[in-house]
Amino acid sequence: MSVKHNVASSSLVQTAKSGVWEVLNMKHANLFSKKITQDESLPAAQAMLYGTGLKEDDFHKAQVGIVSNWLEGNPCNMHLRALGDRIKKSVKKQDFVAFQFSTISVSDGIAMGTNGMRYSLPSRELIADSIESVVNAQHYDAVVAIPGCDKNMPGVLMALLRINRPSIIVYGGSIASGSFLGNKLDIVSAFEALGKRNMKKISNQDYKEIIQRSCYGAGSCGGMYTANTMACSLEAMGMTLPYSSSSIAVGSDKERECDKVGSAIEKILYNNIVPKQIVTKSALINAITLAIALGGSTNLILHLLAIAQTAFIDLTIEDFQPINNKVPYIGNIKPSGNFLMEDVHAIGGIPSIMKYLLNEGLLNGDCMSVTGNTIGKNLENVEPISFYQKVIYPLHHPIKKCGNFLILYGNLSSKGSVAKITGKEGLSFSGEASVFDSEEEVNRAILANKIKNGKVIVIRYVGPKGGPGMPEMLKPTAYIIGAGLRVALITDGRFSGGSHGFVVGHITPEAQEGGEIALVKDGDVITIDTKRNTITLEIDEGELCDRRKKWKFPNLKVSSGYLYKYAKIVSSASYGCVTDKI
């Protein structure tokens, strides 16, 4: 069938059976850049472009912006500029002009457990705003984005959806594992080592060795934490080339991916295949399905809600539970499992898992992708996954018959909360509350051995406004695991993809806005029931009402700067913590 679009003098045909988009005429792809390069009333702009080294012939070529979240001080991002250089060569081979630029990144691993972590989630908005600003101001015709750390992925995609020009995302890739005493190490090994040393389970020397060996060069944290969860989701959506999410950061596979970008951007640029054609509700459901099957991070929910709002797609927090209930958990990957992304890549990568889910009727193969083909077409020649390995389980013999995500409601979370429960922690937990108004307080209590088994730890005033910035509670959950405590933890903050245990986050309304979590007192009994998907403060309504009357709105923790602006305009976690839907 013929499909109309706004690229002059070209047309587009899709063969229904093959799902392949074919170029009929490849002219005039410089729709946006020509507003600068061809307008005689803009001599200064053209003079500046000559100053960058452009020649006369270049002024008729399409311009591709290549943006990376390059950051020298973080393994996740320190190699992205080199990937950008390689991608630039690939793009220029197609006779396009290519300009690199960069945007920010906040290292969660470095900021974790400090006040710097308050900037992590807000950095997503800065990333999106900055890319939108540069691409629109510079009039680039297409974009290649190269993210690395956690918030990079949703940040770049939100920008690309706002801009809605032909775009490809190239994931920076995962870090290779470290090793100590025959055990694979990653960043969470370092966090958990402190709890183990504190309980005298390991020596000071072993503790130091684990820290020194946990991060083995460039790449994002290696488990199914937030970075890899989001990267896999981007691939399932069709916004990356196949294998992008599972290929390791340093090596020939990632280099070959970069070399393919030029021809891929040429195809989608001439065909005007834009992000909003790719990121549909069906594509988001594909992303949720894959992430649930692999045991991904709860941050996925936060980010996909934000992505959906950016793309004007009707996706709500209630949409996640039905998908979770029908998709088995089959990924034996850290933090809940034993393996890393390098092991996933070794058994065929994310495409082999996607093909398996597609053949079993769990993915929609008709969704478009940045290859110019449908997801189904991309997977046609992928080798089927073999189950003579322990990384991915078959659907008929899963780790768990449903996913780990739970959306819980109750008198503690009237607007919803998010849990990630594998089942090995149990299906319910009831205990007396130990209440803390900051992460720092609970960390000190755990390390001082003041937390007893059976307690429900409550960390509040760490939500989007209360944090501000909704910091992750990886440090306390890692300490809990390292110390071997049998407790539950609930918070209006969020969790790293590296967190595991009986934990519930994203509790809304948050404490800063008068949510019920602000009314909990030490010794109150809290019950979490994952069969009924409820979280309940076990006191009568009269007592709750009395406490609510006495509660007063606290001042924000900040009074100026970016976090102050963020706290004033950010939406709740149940709406994705966006700042552009005021």
Q: Specify whether 301 is located in the same domain as 154.
A: yes
Q: Which stretch of 101-115, 230-244, 356-370 has the lowest confidence by average pLDDT?
A: 101-115
List 529's β-bridge partners, or say none.
428, 534
Tell how far CA 490 is from the center of its chain: 21
List 97's β-bridge partners, or say none.
63
Q: Is residue 580 in some structural domain?
A: no
**How much is the average pLDDT of 416-431?**
83
Q: Specify whether 250 is located in the same domain as 123.
A: yes
Mean pLDDT of the chain: 91
**How much is the average pLDDT of 519-548?**
94
Residue entry with tokens 């918070």: 491
**How much is the average pLDDT of 158-162?**
98
Q: What is the CATH number of the domain that holds 157?
A: 3.40.50.2300
Angle between the N-to-C axes of helices 187-198 and 204-213, in degrees from 0 to 180, rounded to the nearest 10: 170
Tens digits of residue pLDDT in 177-211? 888 888 888 888 887 888 788 778 889 999 998 88
Q: Is residue 44 in some structural domain?
A: no
The predicted pLDDT at position 582 comes to 53
Q: What is the CATH number of the domain that holds 473?
A: 3.50.30.80
Q: Which of 197-206, 409-418, 419-428 has the highest mean pLDDT?
A: 409-418
**How much is the average pLDDT of 212-225?**
90
Instruction: Residue 372: give the domain boundaries.
Output: 2-30+61-176+217-379
Q: Specify whether 126 is located in the same domain as 252.
A: yes
Counted domains in the chain: 3
76 known member of a binding site = yes
Q: Specify whether 167 is located in the same domain as 289.
A: yes
**How much is the average pLDDT of 145-150?**
96
Please say if the pLDDT value at position 1 is more than 50: no
Q: Is residue 491 in some structural domain?
A: yes
Q: What is the DSSP string of 288-329?
A: HHHHHHHT--THHHHHHHHHHHHTT----GGGHHHHHHHS-B
**What is the widest separation between alpha-carbon atoms in the chain?**
78
Counting every residue, how long is the chain?
A: 582
Tell how far CA 239 is from the center of its chain: 13
Three-class secondary structure of residue 416 per DSSP: strand
What's the pLDDT band for 12 if we cut at 50, 70, 90? very low
Both tokens of residue 163? 């801009």
Q: Specify whether 344 is located in the same domain as 412.
A: no
Q: Is residue 141 in some structural domain?
A: yes
Q: H or E stretch including 87?
A: helix 80-92
580 known member of a binding site = no
The predicted pLDDT at position 194 comes to 80
Q: Specify whether 122 is located in the same domain as 192.
A: no
The predicted pLDDT at position 498 comes to 62
CB-based burial of residue 206 (10 Å sphere; 0-12 exposed, 13-18 middle, 19+ buried)? middle
Domain boundary (331, 361, 379) is at 379
Q: H or E stretch including 359?
A: helix 349-359
Q: Is residue 41 in some structural domain?
A: no
Q: Is residue 36 in some structural domain?
A: no
The predicted pLDDT at position 19 comes to 47
Q: What is the pTM of this model?
A: 0.91
Please say if the pLDDT value at position 457 is more than 90: yes
Q: Specify whether 521 is located in the same domain as 541.
A: yes
Please say if the pLDDT value at position 18 is more than 80: no
Q: Which stretch of 129-138, 495-504, 550-559 has the lowest confidence by average pLDDT?
A: 495-504
Three-class secondary structure of residue 155 per DSSP: helix
Q: Specify whether 123 is located in the same domain as 190.
A: no
The conformation of residue 28, written as its DSSP 8-state character, comes to -
Catalytic site residues?
496
Give percent of the chain above pLDDT 70: 94
Tens digits of residue pLDDT in 321-340? 999 999 999 999 998 889 99
472 known member of a binding site = yes
Tens digits of residue pLDDT in 334-388? 988 899 999 999 999 999 999 999 999 999 999 999 999 999 999 999 999 999 9
Q: Specify whether 77 is located in the same domain as 22.
A: yes
Q: Specify whether 81 is located in the same domain as 147.
A: yes
Q: Specify whether 191 is located in the same domain as 162.
A: no
Q: Do residues 239 and 169 lie in contact, with contact meaning Cβ atoms separated by under 8 Å?
A: yes
Q: Is residue 582 in some structural domain?
A: no
Q: Is residue 264 in some structural domain?
A: yes
The conformation of residue 177, written as its DSSP 8-state character, comes to P
Q: Which stretch of 130-144, 203-217, 405-419 has the lowest confidence by average pLDDT?
A: 203-217
The predicted pLDDT at position 164 comes to 98
The predicted pLDDT at position 500 comes to 65
Please say if the pLDDT value at position 3 is more than 50: no
- Whether residue 335 is preceded by a cis peptide bond, meaning omega within 30 degrees of 0, is yes
Q: Specify whether 171 is located in the same domain as 190.
A: no
**How much is the average pLDDT of 111-120?**
90
Q: Which of 129-138, 173-182, 192-201, 220-229 has the highest mean pLDDT?
A: 129-138
